[in-house]
């Protein structure tokens, strides 16, 4: 993001000001904006920071907002034009990267984005877009510094536990006591990732810091890339003026890397950096080199700086002439909102919530096409008045809201089906017996999908299969299902419970096909011979990109038997054996841990966690005795169980446990929260903690 123009009304020093930082008619803007050091421009920097603070965070900014008002009984309004980098800002559906907006603060100090109608006359040809930050870590990267800088010493937190961490990046512009990054602690962390863990992005960053600081500031960084570098000792040897020069550089480097978790070359990201009177922080003879350092380290950062006339003369011409290329539109045309035009005699098929291609819809499609109808599959949110019949399939009863909306819109023309609305309703036999229309899901490519058998003789109380399908019975043969394909996603509920399952397996081996047993194999029904047979079948994941076996473990019954049966497969470490691990139904926390430890003890096994959601008229979870008095010890145990893959799925379970813990014990289990955010979404941790606190 770059800032191009500002129109300011009712600011104390900048009333009715128009500031042009870049001309959006051209394709590039100046990288450096040198503003004369005075009260007015100091205020200008702070007003810019208010925009990027955003309405929600305004209360947390360490400043007295009334200082910025010329007339206290009128709103302060800042209209602005800015350029967005779509990939970073995660913007879609824009036709230009140059946008406009307005930010206003009312006399009672409430911030908001200006309504479109109040922007009339301010570059009407540009689209108005608000700034959406989420946690604010990645989009709209913005940093600002004042001219009096303090830093943390042993008190810094690198774990995003402050939900307002984004705006702390510019506190020093408002508060001379605000603290920047702890330099040695940060360098140690960067060094650890770069040198000891050999992580490429960190290595790049440390290398660039080391090189530019040494070549441009003549500061000795020669051992920074060494394994044994002791940053406490190194830092203590620097004279104070060198430390002062390095503090903001290191702080900027920390925040830029934080804001670029998936970027190899973080220092190249675009953004805005404000600096109020940096000259006062630097020995005059080093100012020019210091500016070159900022310029070289952060080549795509727009720099807006206030400087005294004397300091201006020290800024090298080579950087003043630098320009930043304005981003161009690289994505999506706007999604058409035009109504779907359907031919006469049209059927609309709506797949409300299937995770896999929906077999019932595929069969309906085949049926109606054979009768001369046009068939169109649409997402549930796309509606059209013109279809004559509409069929919607719902698997989960959590989707009932969507069904109600569809019902309201389509009325009598809508027919619903699937276990989310009824467990007894079936396709008419004539349609059920048809082949599925594969053209409905072209993403299936060369994979077949369907059932060889349906039903299950067991009676797991949470499961609808025994009621819906009865005992296991064959519904298709392999040739019919494959339709000359060599890969099949089998939806069978419990194929191993079918008395002639072994014959079906033998046929799969003979045909040399690849099979995805997507509903998992019942480990209780495995024998030595069956395991041998299943090892001869090419068992794959649903995408058929790797070998994968699937089992389920929903409780702690018969673990010894299951271990014995698992052993028949003779899996080796490095293979992929997924255990679907349902939680949140009737197991206790102790039983959950026992299950996880059991899976962990099996070679090649890992978990896929799945929260229990009751199906239509299904039993409610029975969790009143979930935690016993030993919850903390069990959480410690949980945290120590790691699988070699799919830990992201475990994060869902950690979250569920952590929220149950908050509900029951009215406190946060911080090590568990640390574990949730150990690898992913680190920047969301502070917000998560805040949400938990609100649950007390
Ligand atoms: S074994 Fe599986 S399919 Fe059979 S009743 Fe239990 S959960 Fe349902």
**CA distances from residue 117 to 29, 102, 112, 121 in whole angstroms, order as listed:** 29, 11, 14, 9
| Residues in the chain where the model's pLDDT stays below 70 | 134-136, 329-340
E strands within 518-616? Answer: 538-539, 549-552, 577-583, 605-611
Atom of ligand 1 nearest to the CA of 464: 8
Do residues 311 and 286 touch, judged by C-beta distance below 8 A? no
CB of 463 closer than 6 A to ligand 1?
Answer: yes
- In the prediction, which pLDDT does 689 show? 93
CB of 491 closer than 6 A to ligand 1?
Answer: no
Q: What is the 3-state secondary structure (H, E, C) of 133-185?
A: CCCCCCCCCEEEECCCCEECCCCCCCCCCCCCHHHHCCHHHCCCCCEECCHHH
CB of 455 closer than 6 A to ligand 1?
Answer: no
Q: Residue 270: how many CB atoms within 10 A of its CB?
A: 21
CB of 466 closer than 6 A to ligand 1?
Answer: yes
Atom of ligand 1 nearest to the CA of 463: 8
275: left (phi over 0), alpha (psi -120 to 50) or beta: beta
Do residues 181 and 251 touch, judged by C-beta distance below 8 A? yes
Query: Which protein residue has the closest C-alpha to ligand 1 atom 8?
Result: 463
Q: Which of 459, 467, 494, 518 to mutate to test the pocket of ligand 1 (most atoms within 8 A of CB)?
A: 494
- In the prediction, which pLDDT does 644 show? 87
Domain boundaries along the sequence of the chain: 2-128, 142-323, 347-431, 553-694
Cα 552 to middle of ligand 1, angstroms: 10
Cα 420 to middle of ligand 1, angstroms: 17
Atom of ligand 1 nearest to the CA of 494: 3
- In the prediction, which pLDDT does 330 show? 56
CB of 465 closer than 6 A to ligand 1?
Answer: yes
**CA distances from residue 280 to 14, 307, 570, 617 in whole angstroms, order as listed:** 24, 9, 70, 71
Three-state SS at 18: strand
**CA distances from residue 686 to 142, 163, 548, 591, 632 in whole angstroms, order as listed:** 19, 4, 37, 31, 22
Cα 458 to middle of ligand 1, angstroms: 6
CB of 494 closer than 6 A to ligand 1?
Answer: yes
Do residues 52 and 345 touch, judged by C-beta distance below 8 A? no
Atom of ligand 1 nearest to the CA of 554: 7
Three-state SS at 655: helix
- In the prediction, which pLDDT does 338 show? 59
- In the prediction, which pLDDT does 334 show? 47
Cα R_g (the chain), whole angstroms: 31
Atom of ligand 1 nearest to the CA of 493: 3
- In the prediction, which pLDDT does 473 show? 97
Query: Which protein residue has the closest C-alpha to ligand 1 atom 1?
Result: 458
Query: Which protein residue has the closest C-alpha to ligand 1 atom 6?
Result: 460
CB of 469 closer than 6 A to ligand 1?
Answer: no
Cα 679 to middle of ligand 1, angstroms: 34
CB of 453 closer than 6 A to ligand 1?
Answer: no
CB of 436 closer than 6 A to ligand 1?
Answer: no
Cα 579 to middle of ligand 1, angstroms: 15
Cα 494 to middle of ligand 1, angstroms: 7
Cα 519 to middle of ligand 1, angstroms: 10
- In the prediction, which pLDDT does 337 show? 54
End-to-end, the C-alpha distance of the chain in Å comes to: 39
CB of 456 closer than 6 A to ligand 1?
Answer: yes
CB of 492 closer than 6 A to ligand 1?
Answer: no
The per-residue pLDDT for range 66-103, each reduced to its tens digit, is: 999 999 999 999 999 999 998 777 777 788 899 999 99
φ, ψ (nearest 5 deg) of residue 488: -140, 135
Strands 76-83 and 2-9 turn out to be antiparallel
Q: What is the 3-state secondary structure (H, E, C) of 25-78?
A: CCCEEECEEEEECCHHHHHHHHHHHHHHHCHHHHHHCCCCHHHHECCCCCCEEE
Q: Which of 419, 451, 460, 497 to mutate to test the pocket of ligand 1 (most atoms within 8 A of CB)?
A: 460
The per-residue pLDDT for range 15-46, each reduced to its tens digit, is: 999 999 988 888 899 999 999 999 999 999 99
Q: Which of 466, 468, 521, 555 to mutate to test the pocket of ligand 1 (most atoms within 8 A of CB)?
A: 466
**CA distances from residue 237 to 234, 240, 249, 282, 440 in whole angstroms, order as listed:** 5, 9, 18, 18, 69
Three-state SS at 197: coil
CB of 188 closer than 6 A to ligand 1?
Answer: no
């Amino acid at each position: 993001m770059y800032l191009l123009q500002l129109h300011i009304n009712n600011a104390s020093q900048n009333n009715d000001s128009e500031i042009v930082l870049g001309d959006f008619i051209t394709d590039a803007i100046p990288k450096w904006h040198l503003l004369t050091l005075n009260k007015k421009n100091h205020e200008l920097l702070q007003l810019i920071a208010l925009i990027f603070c955003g309405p929600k965070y305004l209360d947390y900014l360490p400043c007295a907002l009334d200082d910025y008002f010329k007339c206290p009984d009128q709103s302060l309004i800042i209209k602005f034009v800015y350029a967005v980098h779509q990939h970073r800002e995660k913007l879609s559906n824009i036709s230009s990267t140059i946008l406009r907006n307005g930010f206003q603060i009312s006399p009672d100090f409430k911030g908001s984005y200006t309504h479109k109608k109040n922007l009339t006359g301010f570059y009407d040809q540009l689209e108005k877009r608000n700034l959406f930050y989420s946690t604010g870590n990645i989009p709209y990267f913005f940093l600002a510094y004042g001219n009096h800088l303090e830093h943390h010493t042993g008190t810094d937190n690198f774990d995003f536990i402050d939900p307002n961490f984004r705006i702390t990046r510019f506190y020093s512009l408002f508060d001379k006591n605000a603290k920047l990054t702890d330099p040695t602690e940060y360098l140690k962390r960067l060094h650890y990732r770069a040198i000891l863990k050999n992580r490429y992005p960190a290595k790049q960053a440390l290398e660039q810091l080391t090189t530019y600081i040494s070549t441009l500031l003549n500061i000795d960084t020669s051992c920074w890339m060494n394994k044994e570098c002791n940053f406490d000792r190194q830092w203590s040897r620097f004279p104070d003026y060198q430390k002062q020069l390095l503090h903001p550089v290191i702080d900027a480097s920390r925040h830029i890397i934080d804001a670029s978790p998936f970027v190899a070359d973080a220092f190249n990201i675009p953004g805005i950096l404000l600096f109020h009177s940096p000259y006062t922080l630097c020995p005059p003879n080093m100012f020019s080199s210091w500016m070159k350092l900022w310029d070289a380290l952060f080549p795509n950062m727009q720099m807006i700086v206030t400087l005294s006339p004397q300091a201006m003369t020290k800024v090298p011409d080579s950087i003043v002439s630098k320009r930043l290329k304005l981003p161009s539109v690289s994505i999506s045309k706007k999604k058409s909102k035009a109504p779907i035009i359907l031919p006469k005699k049209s059927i609309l098929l709506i797949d409300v919530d299937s995770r896999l291609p929906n077999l019932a819809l595929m069969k309906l499609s085949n049926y109606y096409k054979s009768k001369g109808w046009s068939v169109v599959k649409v997402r549930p949110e796309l509606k059209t008045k013109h279809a004559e019949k509409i069929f919607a399939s719902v698997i989960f009863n959590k989707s009932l809201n969507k069904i109600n909306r569809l019902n309201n819109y389509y009325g009598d023309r809508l027919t619903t089906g699937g276990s989310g609305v009824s467990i007894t309703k079936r396709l008419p036999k004539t349609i059920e017996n048809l082949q599925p229309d594969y053209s409905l899901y072209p993403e299936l490519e060369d994979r077949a999908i369907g059932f060889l058998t349906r039903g299950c003789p067991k009676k797991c109380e949470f499961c609808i299969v025994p009621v819906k399908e009865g005992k296991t019975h064959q519904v298709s043969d392999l040739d019919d299902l494959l339709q000359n394909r060599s890969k099949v996603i089998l939806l069978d509920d419990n194929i191993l419970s079918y008395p002639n399952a072994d014959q079906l397996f033998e046929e799969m081996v003979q045909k040399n096909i690849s099979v995805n047993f997507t509903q998992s194999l019942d480990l209780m029904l495995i024998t030595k011979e069956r395991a041998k047979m299943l090892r001869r079948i090419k068992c794959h994941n649903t995408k058929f990109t790797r070998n994968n076996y699937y089992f389920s473990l929903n409780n702690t019954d018969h673990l010894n038997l299951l271990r014995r049966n698992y052993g028949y497969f003779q899996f080796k470490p490095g293979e992929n054996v997924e255990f679907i691990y349902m939680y949140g139904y009737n197991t206790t926390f102790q039983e959950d841990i026992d299950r996880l430890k059991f899976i962990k003890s099996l070679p090649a096994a890992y978990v896929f966690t799945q929260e229990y959601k009751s199906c239509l008229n299904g039993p409610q979870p029975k969790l009143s005795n979930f935690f016993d008095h030993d919850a903390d010890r069990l959480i410690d145990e949980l945290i120590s169980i790691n699988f070699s893959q799919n830990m992201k799925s475990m994060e869902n379970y950690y979250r569920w446990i952590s929220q149950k813990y908050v509900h029951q014990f009215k406190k946060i289990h911080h090590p568990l929260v640390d574990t949730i955010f150990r690898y992913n979404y680190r920047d969301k941790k502070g917000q998560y903690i805040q949400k938990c606190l609100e649950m007390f």
